[in-house]
Structure 1
Amino acid sequence: MVDHLKDLQEMAHEMVPQGGISEDTVNYIDARVRLRELRAQLPAIIEMNGEAIRALRGRFNLSQAMLAEYVNMSVMTVSKWERGEKKPNGAALRVLSTLLEKGPEVFRI
């Protein structure tokens, strides 16, 4: 696969000494490349419905209160997820995906 962003990054670095591009622009391109590399390394986020969340709790023998503590949400929110009234998103979905993949031990000291 052709990686145009990496090509752009290389060209940008070559153009800085001639004044053809600013350091700020090069730094922005470098940050975009690092972000792409990070995204490639992170595990995929798994969309979860209420049934999947109940199954997750059952798999690791977690109460709603325990799961709420792991995701830093209220018990009411976990309950609404399980009943299908709400869907987890953002950071909560990342935590749920991590719990599913690695188990609760990953969060313990």
Structure 2
Amino acid sequence: MTQAKSYKSDLKAALHQTASDLYEVGLMDKQTMRRFDESCLTPIHGFTAQEIRALREREEVSQTVFALYLNVPKDSVSQWERGRRSRCHAS
């Protein structure tokens, strides 16, 4: 499950797509692509421990099932909900 990219504008979406194509064929390096990501993509919203738990409960799933959906260990979900660990970008 991949998250759809959210762009700051239609123009930035077109620029980012072109940059992505150049990166995929090896005409752009990773560092330059990251700069395009930062300038074109909207920032990722961080969730608080309470928001993570509310989302899981709203979907009526256990921590184990929620972890399976996110492809992370169940212990990570438990720690996120207790505020003992912050969510990484991969999840």
Question: For residue 65 of structure 1, what is the aligned residue in structure 2?
Answer: 64
Question: For residue 78 of structure 1, what is the aligned residue in structure 2?
Answer: 77
More helix by share: 1
**How many aligned residue pairs are there?**
66
Identical counterparts, % of pairs = 32
Q: Cα–Cα, structure 1 residues 43 and 37, in superposed 2: closer, same or farther, change >3 Å?
A: closer
Q: Cα–Cα, structure 1 residues 83 and 35, in superposed 2: closer, same or farther, change >3 Å?
A: same
CA deviation vs aligned residue, 1:43-78 (integer Å, no higher than 9, x gap): 531111210100111222221011100111111111
Question: For residue 47 of structure 2, what is the aligned residue in structure 1?
Answer: 48
TM-score (norm 1): 0.47
- Alpha-carbon distance in structure 2 between the residues aligned to 1:71 and 1:54: 14
Q: Cα–Cα, structure 1 residues 34 and 49, in superposed 2: closer, same or farther, change >3 Å?
A: closer
- Alpha-carbon distance in structure 1 between the residues aligned to 2:70 and 2:43: 17
What are the ranges of 5 or more consecutive residues in structure 1 without an aligned counterpart?
Answer: 1-5, 7-23, 93-109
Moved over 4 A (4+): none
Greater C-alpha radius of gyration: 1
Q: Cα–Cα, structure 1 residues 37 and 83, in superposed 2: closer, same or farther, change >3 Å?
A: closer
- Alpha-carbon distance in structure 1 between the residues aligned to 2:85 and 2:34: 33
What are the ranges of 5 or more consecutive residues in structure 2 without an aligned counterpart?
Answer: 1-14, 16-25
